[in-house]
């Protein structure tokens, strides 16, 4: 549908089958989409609709065993990721492909300082010296809006606040200027004000670096904020795929309409609550 | 507190642990005494003196003499060499084997994991003392064989613990995150997964030190450990048993105290290492203690 001329990532007929004792389940069925360079694709859907599994399948993060089977093609910068050797996949990860996880505390190694974790990323991919890596770490932490970088580099993940942790995770994802960032519910673990800040941050970074983002969320508000195109997922299939404005203005699928209605209902409810909590002087 | 924890290295965190420091000082003194044994003792640890049998502590024999007239102090100091060596060497060996086995098993998974763990189950199902005695009866007796035999019979628990921890840590998101960041398999295992398993392994290892010292004592008692004339704390403890009835408490008392104190000291050091390995535990572990103390004093004042 939206085949851009230079697609950064195109997923073609991706299916994931899992063999269970009760038969085969198909959490992801025949999913196709494409993300142009420097574009943001929002992948929305309720929990269990297969959003995260799609992302994990793209990165080949699912545990490899005989019970899980992938089909389809994932073309990233002209290469089929499913056909790459583990070594070349490893060199793409982190360097060309970044990922931001939902829970930043769980996504950071608790026994290593932030500095160690950043330095490792630089030394593993660029082969630069420790001092050079530290310098680049400070620069990337500054880029995500963290002050006092030297201090943060000496701290452990549990010593940072939730927002700082997610900024560190974003720093880790963008450190090597990847061309695609997969953000799996990057703001779900944060409160609303932080959510807005982090989204704004992501947006500037994306514009600075020209990276494409696959933004996974269940929150239509987050999608509206950031995405250029939107794919709505339900029961493992994409039920609607359109550009952001068209989707919000003219939803076709019944499920999309209900999603939009649900999010506008919560906003209405929020408004009502604000009204009720307001000063009683009137 | 955040300020303090923020800038700490492993050693700074280690030295914040008070009991750990006590344990470390005690162990250092023991090791120094064992190394400098000839300088600290006036009597031979092996020569018998039938003219001075079962003497209570005197000016000449500080800790008394045993049933063959050997000086307890000398035997205690020389015995430290054997006991500490057996305790530490066998635990280093068994933990190394256990770590290797557990990591391989947890990393490979599947059939290999199954086979390796059934081997461990099989060995664990044999009563360990019987196994120790059987192994010891096969080889020539002596210090090295005692170390080997104890290591060969205690590594299974470590292996099982390492495997379990490894499997659970492997599934945690930061390992996946490191994989997404392009970390090599080597880095994933040795920098991300294994360090997060070490806390409980260290605790088990320190418990095993005590276990090893006591197993050595049991083996010596059964005549399958260190040859009786050569002093070890276990040897002394067992040799002095009959003399307790004769009222010679000092023969068993001092080696017994040394075993208890050493095992305790090793446990304290183990606790300190565990806390130092885990910055989160260090941070949380050091604050509540203060508050509880404060709360207790506050409670007392109210009463």
Q: What pLDDT shows up at residue A265?
A: 60
Task: Give the H or E element holding residue B99.
Answer: helix B72-108
Cα separation, A130 vs A137, whole angstroms? 10
Mutate to test the interface with B, among A60, A110, A166 (most CBs of B within 10 A): A110
Residue A236 · residue A13 · CB < 8 Å: no
- Whether residue B59 lies inside any domain: the answer is yes
Do A108 and B277 lie within an 8 Å CB cutoff? no
Do B7 and A90 lie within an 8 Å CB cutoff? no
Q: What pLDDT shows up at residue B240?
A: 83
Q: What pLDDT shows up at residue A188?
A: 82
Cα separation, B212 vs A252, whole angstroms? 73
**Is residue A129 very low, low, confident or very high in pLDDT (cuts 50, 70, 90)?**
confident
pLDDT above 80: residue A144: yes
pLDDT above 80: residue B268: yes
Residues in chain B, total: 303
Q: How many domains does chain A have?
A: 1
Mutate to test the interface with A, among B180, B186, B193, B273 (most CBs of A within 10 A): B180
pLDDT above 70: residue B303: no
- Whether residue B81 lies inside any domain: the answer is yes
- Whether residue A50 lies inside any domain: the answer is yes
- For A209, counting Cβ atoms within 10 Å of its Cβ (0-12 exposed, 13-18 middle, 19+ buried), the class is middle
Q: What is the mean pLDDT of residues B183-201?
A: 90
Contacts with A, B 120-159, CB within 8 Å: none
Q: What is the mean pLDDT of residues A254-278?
A: 66
Q: What pLDDT shows up at residue A118?
A: 92
Q: What pLDDT shows up at residue B293?
A: 40
* Tokens representing residue A170 in the block: 């974003």
The candidate with the shortest Cα–Cα distance to B91, out of B135, B29, B157, is B157
pLDDT above 60: residue B246: yes
- Whether residue A117 lies inside any domain: the answer is no
* Tokens representing residue A281 in the block: 């002087």
SS3 B71: strand
- Name the residue of chain A whose CA is nearest to B110's CA: A65
Tell me the CATH number at A66.
3.40.50.300
Q: What is the mean pLDDT of residues B135-159?
A: 86
Q: What pLDDT shows up at residue B78?
A: 92
Q: What pLDDT shows up at residue B299?
A: 36
Do B277 and A59 lie within an 8 Å CB cutoff? no
**Is residue A242 very low, low, confident or very high in pLDDT (cuts 50, 70, 90)?**
confident
Tell me the CATH number at B240.
1.10.3720.10
Q: What pLDDT shows up at residue B247?
A: 82
- Whether residue A256 lies inside any domain: the answer is yes
Cα separation, A51 vs A215, whole angstroms? 10
Cβ-Cβ contacts under 8 Å, B179 against chain A: 61, 93
- Whether residue A80 lies inside any domain: the answer is yes
Q: What is the mean pLDDT of residues A11-15?
A: 91
- Name the residue of chain B whose CA is nearest to A126's CA: B182
For this complex, say whether ipTM is above 0.85.
no
**Average pLDDT score, chain A:** 85
pLDDT above 60: residue B295: no
Nearest CA of chain B to the CA of A4: how many Å?
Answer: 26
Do A156 and B179 lie within an 8 Å CB cutoff? no
- Whether residue A139 lies inside any domain: the answer is no
Q: What is the mean pLDDT of residues A261-282?
A: 57
**Is residue A267 very low, low, confident or very high in pLDDT (cuts 50, 70, 90)?**
low
**Is residue B226 very low, low, confident or very high in pLDDT (cuts 50, 70, 90)?**
confident
* Tokens representing residue A137 in the block: 């770490």
Q: What is the mean pLDDT of residues A196-203?
A: 85
pLDDT above 60: residue A272: no
Q: How many domains does chain B have?
A: 1
Cα separation, A72 vs A167, whole angstroms? 34
Q: What is the mean pLDDT of residues B87-107?
A: 94
Give the least confident one: A214-218, B125-129, B176-180, B268-272. B125-129
DSSP B191: I
Q: What is the mean pLDDT of residues B232-259?
A: 86
DSSP B225: S
Q: What is the mean pLDDT of residues B140-144?
A: 78
Cβ-Cβ contacts under 8 Å, B191 against chain A: 109, 112, 120
- Whether residue A247 lies inside any domain: the answer is yes
Cβ-Cβ contacts under 8 Å, A93 against chain B: 179-182
- Whether residue A231 lies inside any domain: the answer is yes
Mutate to test the interface with A, among B106, B111, B178, B181 (most CBs of A within 10 A): B181
pTM of this prediction?
0.79
- Whether residue B152 lies inside any domain: the answer is yes
- Domain limits at B273? 2-296
pLDDT above 90: residue B167: yes
Nearest CA of chain B to the CA of A137: how many Å?
Answer: 14
Do A59 and B283 lie within an 8 Å CB cutoff? no
Q: What pLDDT shows up at residue B242?
A: 82
pLDDT above 60: residue A269: no
Assess A90–B contact: CB distance below 8 Å, yes or no: yes
pLDDT above 90: residue B162: yes
pLDDT above 60: residue B48: yes
The three-state (H, E, C) secondary structure of chain A, written as one string: CCCCCCEEEEEEEEEEEEEECCEEEEEEEEEEEEEECCCEEEEECCCCCCHHHHHHHHCCCCCCCCCEEEEEEEEECCEEHHHCCHHHHHHHECCCEEEECCCCCCCCCCCCCHHHHHHHHHHHHHCCCHHHHHHHHHHHHHHCCCCCHHHHHHCCHHHCCHHHHHHHHHHHHHCCCCCEEEEECCCCCCCHHHHHHHHHHHHHHHHHHCCEEEEEECCHHHHHHHCCEEEEEECCEEEEEEEHHHHHHCCCCHHHHHHHHHHHHHHHHHHHHHHHHCCCCC
Do B278 and A172 lie within an 8 Å CB cutoff? no
- Whether residue A154 lies inside any domain: the answer is no
Q: What pLDDT shows up at residue B106?
A: 92
Do B192 and A156 lie within an 8 Å CB cutoff? no
Say what percent of chain B tops pLDDT 70: 89
pLDDT above 90: residue B101: yes
Q: What is the mean pLDDT of residues B197-208?
A: 89
- Domain limits at A205? 7-103+182-274
Nearest CA of chain A to the CA of B111: how many Å?
Answer: 12
- Whether residue B303 lies inside any domain: the answer is no
Do A109 and B174 lie within an 8 Å CB cutoff? yes
């Amino acid at each position: 549908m939206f085949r851009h001329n230079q697609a950064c990532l195109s997923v073609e007929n991706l299916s994931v089958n899992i063999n269970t004792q009760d038969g085969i389940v198909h959490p992801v069925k025949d999913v196709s989409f494409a993300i142009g360079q420097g574009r943001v694709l929002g992948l929305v859907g309720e929990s269990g609709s297969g959003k995260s599994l799609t992302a994990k399948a793209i990165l080949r993060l699912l545990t490899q065993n005989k019970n899980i089977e992938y089909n389809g093609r994932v073309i990233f910068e002209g290469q089929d990721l499913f056909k790459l050797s583990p070594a070349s996949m490893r060199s793409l990860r982190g360097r060309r492909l970044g990922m931001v996880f939902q829970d930043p505390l769980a996504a950071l190694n608790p026994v290593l300082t932030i500095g160690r974790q950043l330095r490792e990323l630089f030394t593993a991919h660029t082969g630069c010296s420790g001092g050079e890596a530290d310098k680049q770490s400070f620069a990337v932490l500054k880029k995500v809006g963290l002050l006092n970088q030297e201090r943060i580099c000496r701290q452990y993940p549990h010593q940072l606040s939730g927002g700082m942790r997610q900024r560190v995770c974003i720093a880790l994802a963008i450190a090597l200027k990847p061309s695609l960032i997969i953000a799996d519910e990057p703001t779900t673990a944060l409160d609303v004000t932080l959510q807005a800040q982090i989204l704004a941050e992501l947006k500037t970074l994306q514009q600075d670096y020209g990276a494409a983002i696959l933004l996974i969320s269940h929150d239509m508000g987050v999608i509206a904020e950031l995405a250029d195109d939107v794919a709505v997922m339900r029961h493992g299939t994409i039920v609607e795929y359109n550009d952001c404005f068209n989707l919000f203005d003219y939803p076709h699928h019944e499920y999309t309409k209900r999603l939009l209605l649900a999010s506008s209902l919560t906003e209405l409810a929020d408004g009502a609550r604000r009204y009720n909590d307001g000063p009683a002087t009137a | 507190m955040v300020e303090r924890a923020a800038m700490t290295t492993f050693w700074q965190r280690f030295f914040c642990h008070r009991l750990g420091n006590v344990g470390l000082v005690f162990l250092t003194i023991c090791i120094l005494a064992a190394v400098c044994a000839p300088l600290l003792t006036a009597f031979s640890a092996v020569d018998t003196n039938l003219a001075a049998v079962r003497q209570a502590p005197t000016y000449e024999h500080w800790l008394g003499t045993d049933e063959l007239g050997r000086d307890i102090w000398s035997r205690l100091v020389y015995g430290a060499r054997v006991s500490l060596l057996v305790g530490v060497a066998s635990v280093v060996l068994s933990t190394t084997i256990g770590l290797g086995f557990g990591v391989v098993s947890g990393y490979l998974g599947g059939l290999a994991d199954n086979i390796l763990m059934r081997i461990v189950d099989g060995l664990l199902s044999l009563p360990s003392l019987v196994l120790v005695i059987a192994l010891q009866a096969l080889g020539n007796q002596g210090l090295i064989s005692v170390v080997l035999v104890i290591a060969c019979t205690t590594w299974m628990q470590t292996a099982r613990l390492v495997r379990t921890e490894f499997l659970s840590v492997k599934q945690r998101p930061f390992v996946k995150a490191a994989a997404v960041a392009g970390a090599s398999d080597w880095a994933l295992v040795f920098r991300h997964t294994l360090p997060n398993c070490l806390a409980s392994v260290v605790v088990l290892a320190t418990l095993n030190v005590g276990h090893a010292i006591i197993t050595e004592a049991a083996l010596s008692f059964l005549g399958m450990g260190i040859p009786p004339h050569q002093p070890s704390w276990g040897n002394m403890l067992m040799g002095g048993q009959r003399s307790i009835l004769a009222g010679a408490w000092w023969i068993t008392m001092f080696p017994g105290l040394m075993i208890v104190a050493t095992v305790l000291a090793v446990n304290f050091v183990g606790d300190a290492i565990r806390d130092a390995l885990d910055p989160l535990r260090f941070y949380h572990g050091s604050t509540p203690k203060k508050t509880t103390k404060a709360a207790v004093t506050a409670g007392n004042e109210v009463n």
